[in-house]
Amino acid sequence: SGSGIYVENGASCNTFLNCESNVSETAAACVLIGADSEATILMNLYTLSSNLVPNIQLEAGSTKTAISNLYAASNGAAIWDFSGGDYTASNAGYPFKNSMKATEISDLETGLQRFSHQYYDTTGTLDLDLNASVYFLSSYNGALITRLPDPGDFNGAEVMIKKIDNSTNTIRITDVSESGLDGHDVYLSAEHDYVVVISNGAEWFIMSANRTIGSNKYYDTTGTIQIDLAHDVYILSSYNGALTVQLPPADAAQSFGRTVTLKKTDTSSNPINITELGGGGPDQSSQTLNSRYEAVTVFSDGAQWYVISRL
């Protein structure tokens, strides 16, 4: 029990300079920063013990500890942190010698660059906290809505989100205000689809994206459905009754520049009518698929849906 240096309650930059803490193997830590300490500064510190005694232990509740030039000779953790990362380190710690908070660098050249990443396998709604730069997501067990935080809280932050499972369950990417990315939701529908976004402090912008060409969705239903353009090909069955498929408005953000193919695959004579939500449909009229294997491919120029081909 005990420690060589114990800051139980202190604030306003209490500084320990050029210190050595050599303690017994039964000690709690070579240096213990207590729960009520704030802005403690440790510089040029030498710590020594054995039996896995931590060199520096930061208790939960300690804040703004600054550690510089730590020679950690105990075989315990260099910095055993319970503060939730509320510290900075320079030439201290293991395996990372430096741990910094918000930092501005005007010119930086790096060799190997590593990105923090997190993995989630879930369904429903997932709110990202942006404690990582890369998120690997699995929607294997059901559709997933992933929401980025308020862009105003993450000005300049760049984030990659990637779908890594092989299910047909989509991942819809938006933000907490449902404003989306570039003003619309993004759908990751196939394995390896990804999107990279950056915040300018007001909204999230898409920097790059990859959507697997030819990703498809199958519907076997009746009545009216609205497709989300998460896929390039829609395989449709109206075996049990007539079906109406509504495209999003041609001027919707997710429609501009999109080409979509819709194909009837069942043997019934029940028609499939392709229309537009709030509009007349491709080429300003409803397109009907009456027979098995009939298909229509349509394209939006941001003002109107056009028929590109029919089979």
Is 188 a residue whose pLDDT tops 80? yes
Question: pLDDT value at position 213?
Answer: 63
Selected residue with higher pLDDT from 11 and 34: 34
CB 139 within 8 A of CB 165: yes
How confident is the prediction for the chain on average, in pLDDT? 93
Confidence of residue 78 (pLDDT cuts 50, 70, 90): very high
Question: pLDDT value at position 299?
Answer: 96
Confidence of residue 248 (pLDDT cuts 50, 70, 90): very high
The arithmetic mean of pLDDT across residues 119-148, rounded, is 96
Between 29-33, 65-69, 149-153, 257-261, the lowest mean confidence (pLDDT) is in 257-261
- % of residues, the chain, pLDDT over 70: 99
The arithmetic mean of pLDDT across residues 69-79, rounded, is 96
Domains and CATH numbers, the chain: 3-90 (no CATH), 117-210 (2.60.120), 216-310 (2.60.120)
Question: pLDDT value at position 95?
Answer: 87
Question: How crowded is residue 104: how many other Cβ atoms within 10 Å of its Cβ?
Answer: 4
Is 215 a residue whose pLDDT tops 90? no
Question: pLDDT value at position 214?
Answer: 63
Question: pLDDT value at position 29?
Answer: 97
Question: pLDDT value at position 141?
Answer: 95
Question: pLDDT value at position 198?
Answer: 97
Question: pLDDT value at position 149?
Answer: 97
Structure confidence by residue, pLDDT tens digits, 94-117: 888 999 988 889 999 999 999 999
